[in-house]
Amino acid sequence: MQRREFLTSSVVAGLAASAGASAQAQGNAAGTSTQTPAASKSVFFGQPVVSGPAPESLTILQAVNGPATGHLEIAVGDEPFRRIDSESAGLLPYDQNILKFTLPPLPPGKSVRYRVTANTILFKTDYNIIPGEPEQTEIRTFRTLDPQASATRFVVWNDTHEHQKTIDVLQQQTLAFRPDFLMWNGDQTNNVHDPVKMREQYLSPGELEISSQWPMAYARGNHDVRGPAAREVARFTGTPEDLFYYAFRSGPLAALVMDTGEDKPDDRAVYAGLAGFDAMRERQRQWLAQVIEQAWFRSAPYRILFCHIPLWWTPDGKERDFWMCSEVCRDAWLPLLQQARIQLVVSGHIHKATLMPATESQPIPQLMGGGPKLESATIIEGIADAQHCVLTCKKLTGEVAYRIELPAS
Euclidean distance between CA atoms 199 and 99, whole angstroms: 11
Q: What is the pLDDT of residues 292-350, one digit of tens each?
A: 999 999 999 999 999 999 999 865 555 555 556 688 899 999 999 999 999 999 999 99
- Using alpha carbons only, give the angle 297, 383, 250 rounded to the nearest 5 degrees: 30
pLDDT tens for 160-215 read 999 999 999 999 999 999 999 999 999 999 999 999 999 999 999 999 999 999 99
CA dist 189 and 201 (Å) reads 6
Q: Are 144 and 58 in contact (CB under 8 A)?
A: yes
Question: What is the C-alpha to C-alpha distance for residues 132 and 278, in angstroms, rounded to an integer?
Answer: 47
CB 51 within 8 A of CB 59: yes
In order, the DSSP letters of 142-202 are EE---TT-S-EEEEEE---TT-HHHHHHHHHHHHHH--SEEEEES---S----HHHHIIII
Domains of the chain: 49-143 (2.60.40), 152-407 (3.60.21.10)
Total-model pTM: 0.89
pLDDT lower than 50: segments of the chain: 1-38
Return the percent helix, strand and coil in the chain, to nearest 5.
Answer: 25, 30, 45
